[in-house]
Structure 1
Amino acid sequence: MRAYKWIGLLLTASFSVFGADVLKDNVEYTTSIAGAYDSRSTFTNPAALGFQTDLNGATPLSAFSTSLNANQNNDYVFSMAFGWLGFGIEHLVRNVGDLNRYSFALGMPFTPYLYYGIRYAFTRSDSAALSHYDSLTMGLQLRAHKRFSLALLAEGLNQPTHNGSLVPTRYTAGLLLNPIDPVRLTLDINTYSNNFLKSLGYEANAEVELARGVRVRAGYHHERKWQVGLQLNFGFTSYFSAFQPETPTRSVLIGAQFSVKPYSSLISFHSGLEMTVNGAVAEEPVNGGLLGSDRPSLLDLLKRLDEASKEPGIEVILIDLKSFPLGLAAAQDLADAVLRARGAGKEVEVFLGNAGLKEYLVAAAADRIYIEEGSELRLAGLREARYYLRGTLDKIGIEGELFAKGKYKSAPETFTRRGPSEASKEASLQRLRSLEKTIFAHLQKHRKISQKKWGQVLDHAMFSPEEAKEWQLVDAIDTFPDRKESLNAIFTENVQVMKDSIALQPRIAVIVASGDILQGRSALLSFAGSPQITYKKMETFFESALADPLTQAIVFRVSSPGGEILPSRQIASLIERAKKKKPVIVSMGDYAASGGYMISAPANEIFASPTTLTGSIGVFLGKVNLSKLYQKIDLKKEILTDAPYADLYSEDRGLSPGGRKILSRRLDQYYDSFVDYVAKQRQLALSKANEEAQGRVWTGTEAAGKKLVDKTGSYLDAVEAAAKRVGLAPGAYEYYVLANSASLFSPFGDGGWLKAETKTPWPVASIAEQIHWATLLSERPFLYLSATGLMEN
């Protein structure tokens, strides 16, 4: 497929034929300046190049066409387009000689509804009468409604000369009307500047799509009289023809155009989708730039499955699940997309290598599970792992003077204890049991595993491929390439087809907030490969979504354990302002806890996966006391001040009783403010909000029962809810992730080498992150989930 794309980029071409007036007639048979015809738009109306790029991306386009004329040599035309740019060569045979005309075109958007284009053309010929005719053309297209488009085209604006005379400018107005979906009607009317509106030319056509990718056209031209045409799409090729029986040469136009994206066609070129899921998947997409590697987002995977579900030609979906780097909630989102595909009648097969519970959770949703020879299936259950640094810090003379508000707010315990408190242990065990219950319900429903058998599975823990098949945990032992080869199907990695809409569809913008919430980016966390959320970044994304007239609603994907209070509150206020203009629906990922919950609370509606960890409504603050360490290394620090608490956050001394009292007061204020904010945003009684707060972490299922979230549902459920809230029917909208674009001056993309390729190994990254938070505590209070690693075996 990649080789084909490069060949297509190098060899793209489009061909068309024009009427008898070589100087002016640039409208192809049965076409309109209000339409879009891939690279042939270079000749019909260059404004359409801009629309096509917005509609289908910067897709290389190519085609060939020629006209067969009675008693005359054939004309032929070559053109190519990539994104906004078009280029064309026409070879035309006329009575006074042959000529070549070269065209360069550019089409761009003014707005998502209005497009403009410009074309410069010049001729070369052995005939002096036909050579050196330079022409400037400008075009407009208005595409503000899905049922019609309007266009204007002015050709010869530079008033070129021909045989010593000025050539008048030709003005054309065009209308494309789609009264019902199979039918399109077009009307073009033209006049010349030297006889403006006194003499009119016209062309009218009707097009009917008889079946998917099969279109017939018929129309009437004021000079050429009756004309008929046919278009047939097949895979990456679209064949077209037109016949004008009443012209002197009885012209027949035949041609084909090509794209690196397949056309919508009656006979699908592909019958299978193949997907590879590996450690590169992230919540937020990463553009690797020129030299780096792109990392797909979770939504990219879900969208590919969603599109395959709706594609009639796709019969089977094969997923090579090498590993899944995200958490349980994200795995459930992927499993939900697999179930949707099955519900649409697709056969879904998942292939496992060395796999754990997350991978098996996804695979269980498929029709069949394969495991590779020599691999291992590990189903040992869930565990939480956490570091306690108190003993280590005591040895080196560091003391964490940290204070938390909320019975279950255990984040500071990492620095202040040698093991978990009873409250922390109680909450963790309850949380694990809730998650295990959800996971078992999924496996029981889709793999028919009984409670007794699941207990035996956990006792056995690790399975060879033969054991996994014997225990009926998988269906067969096979490899992805061998199974793919055995199927009578042509596979593709992407089922997107060339769209042929009259206007751009409404959009649902997806904004991803993944990682720790910070006032500014942290170099240490960047080095550790950890994603980060800043107010500035979120503000940029929300402003973009709010400014886009096509974006009707916003899905805010939150996957964050929290962070600093100030940016958390700033982002929450940003959501409050945004939802006054457009609905904001939150989809919670693996975590949306503490500060992550605060930024979710103001949304119009909150969806959480059953395995999302959320809540943790509590606060901690304090500082790190290095006085004993300084004594050990004989380091002195002198502070001169007359103010009693100017040294409150100084790391070289402990907190005084007065200092503790100040921090305790601020802790109460932060906590009360957080609980009050949740109560108001979620419309809960203050006493109820306080009861569910206390720093306790809830699963998505538990949070729904406590009204902290509105519904348990998947990522795609949230997208559909956003569309429904603004009255968009299924299939009548698009959704996309707002992400940082790669800079021209940053060849390694969004994150350079480190973010795109490097992840500091666990536990080094974990300790580095925790030390980072400890150093930040000298200045800032936090809303943060305890530094617990939820793991599966």
Structure 2
Amino acid sequence: MKIFFRGLLRWIDRLRRIVVNGLFLLVIMVFVAVMLTAHPKVPDQAALVLDPHGQIVEELELPSPLTMSLTGAAPMGQTRLHDLTAAIRDAAGDKRIRLMVLKLDDMSRSSLPVLQELRRAIEAFRATGKMVIAEGPNYTQSQYYLAAAANTVFLHPMGYVAIEGFSIYRNYIRDALDKLHITAEVFRAGKYKSAIEPLLRNDMSDADREANGALLKTLWGSYLKDIARMRNLRPQRLQQVLDTPSRYLNDYHGNLAELAKGEGLVDELADQGTIDDYIAGAMDIEQGEYPAIAFRDYLHAAVSEKEHKHAGRVGIIVASGMILDGEQPPGSIGSDTMVEMLQQAREDNAIKAVVLRIDSPGGSAQASEEIRTAIMRLQKAGKPVVVSMGGVAASGGYWMAAPANEIWASPTTITGSIGAFGVMLNLQQGLEQLGIHSDGLGTTTIAGGMRPDRAMPPELSRVMQLTISDVYQHFLSVVASGRKMDKSRVAAIAEGRVWSGLDAQRLGLVDHLGGFDDAIKAAARLAALGDDYGRSWIRAPEGLGEMLLSRIVGETDALFPGVWQGMNRLLMAGSTPALSPAILRQYAGWLGLPLHQSGALALSNLRVE
């Protein structure tokens, strides 16, 4: 009897695994099939709805599937900047699109250069004579910047516009490290290289305060100037309202919405029904629901309708995230991944020039150097390279940019940070306070010197500092060579200091101030393409898992809101099989998706426009 029940339980467990795994795979297959077969149709005389979810980014940052299964959390929504601008650009010339509606309440904070790129696209849409309407229950500082570009800005009668300004605050932990008996072994070259200051100080250094003050002045000045121009306001008045909000709010009896309208930040206070009626009226249709299409659906439809007849094309490569060695997923910059994409651009005869869009705070110096040499190989092949800087192109991000034929940046881009540093925490004293001691022996004076439970040997400390100094000198040479500047001149503006794009142009670190489209035009000019050219987005090949994650991260709040939660519960059940290349090929065969032997989708990684 015992043997019978043991066998029955094993059979039930096996059946449970089959059912759970089958459901999981069914969800994946349905998700992929819908994503790849859906071809939305653009309604006639419709409104384009721009409703970005999460942060607007240069490239989607894909979380680790292991991390997601362990935390049980769905990936954060993100929206590609260039998907938004592409949809707006296409809609501007599409007779089926009557106007655009900005629904920004699901958008989170985004960098000012990214917002300025999007604002320029919205203004170009308006320049065609089409109306733009912004609506929202409230507006954060980032949301309001885009809303201000509209013809009419609506706000809920109980809403608010939350503009607070820019700031830089950090937690400094020197005292905490001292109390824990932890010593920070720091090596750096450049007095402004402030990333490690929180380990060494309890407050901001004068050098860091100087650099940050100049940066904040440029960012805030640009924000105020743009808002004032778009809303026909006086910057001085807006500054006064934000410096003493209670004084002005008192005049409106504490009503934040009335304050926003009275100060000209919004045009009308209205509920959703009233706003819908207004939009319907602007489209010359009866009050109520109006024909609309979300920008994601419009982008899919517009891409499927395009014909690509351009013989000459500008290749576009996005370098977004930390710079790391080897192959890395989207959202990080892997040296091998970037070199492969640059090689694709070099070998593609249709691509005559390349725009490298950089949004990176830096990372590995070695990886940055490998990417830089790949860029120079591309240039030697006769293809000019233009760098377009996003929100940040600093440290290793600038290292990559240095050899470009031209560098374009937004006035509010954070760039420079030409310096180097290394840090290691020494826990020996803290562990000894707990009664944990380290002892042993090695065959050289530096053997075991990188262990965090013992002090770094003096000889190894000297080696580390010499190495950091050598990297810094090499960095200076890279910039001097790429920018055709004397090395002493580079050294004077380096020292690890960050600069705004505005200051970087004045100092010769940047050639021109302008947006992404300006960089595209510059690349076409350098390649002598004239006005008849196309664009090719070069992306690294994606496996099935990465493709699914891209869809989930990029559209998690817009499409199939319950899919991720269901998939995640199945993952947490602990019985999901490993998706090996062989299994992926089998499932892909059911879906009609061609796969390489490695399991990577055999789809083109060129997106053309």
Q: What band does the TM-score fall into relative to the shorter chain?
A: 0.7 to 0.9
1:552 is the counterpart of 2:358:
no
Indicate if the aligned counterparts of 1:743 and 1:749 stay in contact, CA closer than 8 A: no
Matched residues in 1 for 2:157 and 2:53: separation?
Answer: 19
Residue of structure 2 aligned with 1:311, choices 94, 108, 111: 94
What is the distance in 2 between the residues matched to 1:729 and 1:273? 31
> 2:45 aligns to what?
270
Within 5 A, what are the aligned runs for 1:305-344?
305-322=88-105, 323-344=107-128
Structure 2 match to 1:592: 393
Pair 1:566–1:360, CA change in 2 (3 A): same
Quick one: structure 1 residues 351 and 735, their matched pair in 2 at CA, closer, same or farther if it must change by over 3 Å? farther
Q: Does the 8 A contact of 1:593 with 1:613 survive in 2? A: yes
Q: Is the 8 A contact 2:134 2:152 kept in 1?
A: yes
Cα distance change of structure 1 residues 751 and 418 upon mapping to structure 2, 3 Å threshold: farther
Contact 2:98 2:130 in 1 (8 A): yes
Letter in structure 2 aligned against 1:376: Y
Aligned length: 495
Residue 276 (structure 1) shift: 0.7
Structure 2 CA distance for partners of 1:711 and 1:385, relative to 1, 3 Å: same
- Between 643-652 and 382-391, the greater mean CA deviation after superposition: 643-652
- Note if contact 1:289-1:748 (Cα within 8 Å) is conserved in structure 2: no
Asked if 1:396 corresponds to 2:180, the answer is yes
Note closer, same or farther for the CA distance 1:701–1:395 as it changes in structure 2 (3 Å cut).
same
1:261-660 alignment, distance < 5 Å: 261=41, 269-279=44-54, 281-285=56-60, 295-322=78-105, 323-461=107-245, 464-478=256-270, 479=272, 481-488=276-283, 490-493=291-294, 494=298, 496=302, 499=305, 501=307, 503=309, 506-519=312-325, 531-581=331-381, 582-660=383-461
* CA distance in structure 2 between the partners assigned to 1:672 and 1:368 by the alignment: 53
* Larger proportion of helix: 2
SS in structure 1 of the partner of residue 353 of structure 2: strand
Q: Which runs of 5+ in 1 are unaligned?
A: 1-5, 11-56, 61-258, 263-267, 759-793
Percent of aligned pairs sharing the same letter: 30
CA–CA separation in structure 2 for the residues paired with 1:734 and 1:361: 30
Higher strand share: 1
Secondary structure in 2 matching 1:408 = coil
The structure showing larger relative contact order (alpha-carbon pairs under 8 Å, at least 6 residues apart) is 2
Taking the aligned partners of 2:547 and 2:371, their CA distance within structure 1 comes to 30
Q: Quote the Cα distance in structure 2 between the aligned partners of 1:676 and 1:374.
A: 57
Matches of 1:433 and 1:351 in 2, distance apart?
A: 30
Q: CA deviation at 1:689?
A: 0.7
Larger displacement relative to structure 2 (461-470 or 329-338): 461-470
| CA positional deviation for 1:460 | 4.5
Distance 1:631 1:601, change over 3 A: same
Alpha carbons 1:513, 1:533 under 8 Å: kept:
yes
1:683 corresponds to which residue?
484
Conserved 8 A contact 1:333-1:715:
yes
Alignment partner, residue 580 of structure 2: none
1:91-106 correspondence to structure 2 within 5 Å: none
Residue deviations 1:221-240, cap 9 Å, x none?
A: xxxxxxxxxxxxxxxxxxxx
Q: Is 1:287–1:742's contact at 8 Å kept on the other side of the alignment?
A: no
Partner Cα distance (1:497, 1:591) in 2: 29
Q: Deviations over 1:483-540 (max 9, x none)?
A: 4444326433327276575846543332211111122579xxx9xxx93221122123
Deviation at 1:656, TM superposition (A): 4.2
* Distance (whole Å) between structure 2 residues aligned to residue 430 and residue 497 of structure 1: 42
Range with greater deviation from structure 2 (539-548 or 416-425): 539-548
Unpaired stretches in structure 2, ≥5 consecutive residues:
1-29, 66-73, 250-254, 285-290, 558-563, 565-609
Does structure 1 retain, via aligned residues, the 8 Å contact 2:44–2:97? no
| 1:691 CA drift (Å) | 1.0
1:754 Cα deviation after fit: 12
Secondary structure at 2:509 match in 1: coil
Q: Please tell me the residue identity of whatever aligns with 2:374.
A: L
Structure 2 Cα separation of the partners of residues 278 and 750 of structure 1: 14
**One-letter amino acid of the counterpart of residue 318, structure 1:** V
- Cα offset, 1:399, TM superposition: 1.5
SS in 2 for 1:412: helix
CA shift at 1:619, angstroms?
0.8
Q: d(CA) in 2 for partners of 1:340 and 1:377? A: 25
Asked if structure 1 preserves the Cα contact closer than 8 Å seen for 2:445 and 2:457, the reply is no
Separation of aligned partners in 1, 2:101 and 2:127: 16
Q: Tell me, what secondary structure is at the counterpart of 2:517?
A: helix
Distance 1:520 1:633 in 2: 39
In structure 2, the partner of 1:123 is none
Counterparts of 1:437 and 1:500, CA distance in 2 = 40
- The alpha carbon displacement at 1:443 in A equals 2.2
Residue 342 of structure 1: how far off its partner (Å):
2.0
Q: Is the 8 A contact 1:601 1:682 kept in 2?
A: yes
Q: Is contact 1:404-1:620 (8 Å) kept?
A: yes
CA contact (8 A) 2:428 2:437 kept: no
Q: Does 1:718 align with 2:526?
A: no
CA apart distance, 1:705 = 0.8
Secondary structure at the counterpart of residue 511 of structure 1: strand
Structure 2 CA distance, aligned partners of 1:261 and 1:507? Answer: 28
Amino acid at match of 1:470: G
Q: TM-score, normalised by structure 2?
A: 0.73
Q: Is the 8 A contact 2:189 2:472 kept in 1?
A: yes
Do 1:274 and 1:491's aligned partners in 2 also have CA atoms closer than 8 Å?
yes
Offset from partner CA, 1:229-269 (integer Å, 9 cap, x none): xxxxxxxxxxxxxxxxxxxxxxxxxxxxxx8556xxxxx92
Distance 1:335 1:366 in 2: 9
What CA distance in whole angstroms lies between the structure 2 residues aligned with 1:575 and 1:635?
50
**Amino acid of the structure 1 residue aligned with 2:549:** G
Give 1:482 shift: 4.8
CA distance in 2, matches of 1:739, 1:482: 42
TM-score of the aligned structures, taking structure 1 as reference length: 0.57
2:344 partner SS: helix
> Per-residue deviation at 1:304?
0.9
Quick check: 2:315–2:345 contact (8 Å CA) kept in 1? yes
One-letter amino acid matched to 1:384: I
